[in-house]
Amino acid sequence: MGVLTFNYTVMITLLFSCFIIFNHVYLAHSLIGHTAHDHRFHIQKLQESIKSNFFQRQHVSLSSSPSSSARSNSEVYSVIEFGADPTGKTDSTDAILAAVSEATSVAGDGFLMQGITNLGGVRISLEGGIYKISRPIKLPVAGRGNIMIFGGTLKASDNFTSDSYLLDLSTSSSSDSDYDYEFVTLRDLMLDCNFKGGGIRAVDALRTSIDNCYIAHFTTTGILVHGGHETYIRNTFLGQHITAGGDPNERNFTGTAINLQGNDNAITDVVIFSAQIGIMISGQANIITGVHCYNKAYGFGGTGIYINVPGITQTRIVNSYFDYTGIVAEDPVQLHVSGCFFLGDAFIVLKSVHGVVDGVNIVDNMFYGSNKGVDIVQLDQTKKEFNEIGHVVVNNNVVNGMNAKATVANGVTRVNGTSWTIDFNTILLFPRRIKFVQHALMSDASNSFPKTVLRNISNNQVFIESDMMVEGSASVTVDQGLAMSS
Ligand SMILES: *[C@@H]1O[C@H](CO)[C@@H](O)[C@H](O)[C@H]1NC(C)=O
Ligand SMILES: *[C@@H]1O[C@H](CO)[C@@H](O)[C@H](O)[C@H]1NC(C)=O
Ligand SMILES: *[C@@H]1O[C@H](CO)[C@@H](O)[C@H](O)[C@H]1NC(C)=O
Ligand SMILES: *[C@@H]1O[C@H](CO)[C@@H](O)[C@H](O)[C@H]1NC(C)=O
């Protein structure tokens, strides 16, 4: 017992010192200006060495478990048993489709949503093989649910049907129900689209899980969600080209890693390492959490997240990392961005389509740039000026080496005379717009009681006059958001 306790303490001490090393690497990176990619590399190396030391013991005990035979469990359909070639030499399309067909023809034990048969959790195992396919893997019929495809690599062959998806949850037959699939899980998969098409498509699917996948070499889209509800994409890595940053071809990256054309989806803990657009959103009530976008630098024409739902955005982006690439939102109405880190002069663009911006919170984020004077939040009014500005709060962001922009600001000025002006143009996001002003005057003279009046707030400049000569200081708070009026 004593020995065990001792080991435990040593382990904790070891982990704790690793934590200190992490912090050290991070600080060194920001101070001496290493690129983000160096930083990633160091962390990766450290994590690898920690993992190999920490998990060695566990591997040994796990490896003694008996190897599972493909059909020993009737719920697992091994594609190898259906003739698929796990070496990737010959085409396995027909074999995999046969396995899927048999798995989805089991008698269901009940119903999920109306019109969807519960297959009880049948699993199609890729048995850790690499399979070449020349057509999409689809379920043969719609109206099926509770099924999993997992554990292997699918690679599009050179004659793969162009403009389609390796794994395709869609049907061409029209159905009466709103949803064609329910509770389909795609996990532990590597999809190599071989520059022939896309990775996964889910059309009118309900409660789909895409978990621990690695999707590369797509020309169109890594994951396309169209219609349906509640596709959850977790712990997944997507990139058109396999790179860890600083790729000499970055300028030429194309495609979209994830395209959400539907509502109520979640993208959680996902890395997008190459694509023209990281995430394209054209539905509502989607949440993006813990996403790291370094898909293509803004300077090369890339966008991290593009939100294309003008007038009814309803999107939350939290705790994410925008690495040399930012966010664009068209006419945002109900958009929340917080707890995010923007590195390398990355910024947020509010793009006017019909001139509407309302219910936007961009708060509590960190921005880090290279002192080029880049604004953290920018307005694109090339198409139309924003003329319907509602409640917009850009505030409380931590800014280093970039130009802070905000909708709330404080200013202090020395006063010597009968009037003074404080100019808020460098900080305020919207031009010619102050909705609320609070002013306080501190006089150096102990026995004077000047009366002051706010004369003018046009052009984001606060102009105040006094009835007598004042020496002292004036503090002003302004807000561009809607003030309550009566
Ligand atoms: C693609 O080529 C393989 C042989 O490599 C062949 O079996 C398959 O039928 C072809 N598929 C198409 C869609 O042409
Ligand atoms: C990128 O694309 C351009 C234009 O298509 C091409 O001229 C250039 O060689 C490409 N760059 C690289 C590094 O492949
Ligand atoms: C304030 O202004 C008066 C005259 O306008 C001048 O005499 C005085 O030196 C000024 N005070 C300071 C602190 O600049
Ligand atoms: C406010 O100031 C602007 C110039 O800064 C001027 O054009 C405008 O007439 C002023 N408005 C009032 C009401 O004094």
Give the Cα separation of 144 and 183 in Å (integer): 9
How much is the pLDDT for 484? 62
Indicate whether 24 pLDDT > 90. no
Domains of the chain, residue spans: 76-400, 408-479
Q: Is 30 in the pocket of ligand 3 (CB under 6 A)?
A: no
Residue nearest to atom 8 of ligand 1 (CA): 134
Distance 189 CA to ligand 3 centre (A): 75
> Band of the pLDDT at 29, cuts 50, 70, 90?
very low
Question: Contact at 8 Å (CB) between 362 and 393?
Answer: yes
The per-residue pLDDT for range 444-479, each reduced to its tens digit, is: 998 999 999 999 999 999 999 999 999 999 999 999
Give the Cα separation of 172 and 168 in Å (integer): 11
Mean pLDDT of the chain: 87
Nearest to 134 by CA among 152, 158, 98: 158
How much is the pLDDT for 211? 98
Distance 469 CA to ligand 3 centre (A): 10
How much is the pLDDT for 486? 47
Indicate whether 412 pLDDT > 60. yes
How much is the pLDDT for 177? 78
Residue nearest to atom 3 of ligand 3 (CA): 416
How much is the pLDDT for 114? 87
Residue nearest to atom 2 of ligand 2 (CA): 252
Counting ligand 1 atoms within 8 A of each CB, the residue from 135, 159, 161 with the most, and so the one to mutate, is 159
Counting ligands in written order, the one closest to the CA of 249 is 2
Which CATH code for domain 76-400? 2.160.20.10
Q: Is 90 in the pocket of ligand 4 (CB under 6 A)?
A: no
Indicate whether 280 pLDDT > 80. yes
Distance 379 CA to ligand 4 centre (A): 25
Give the Cα separation of 48 and 31 in Å (integer): 25
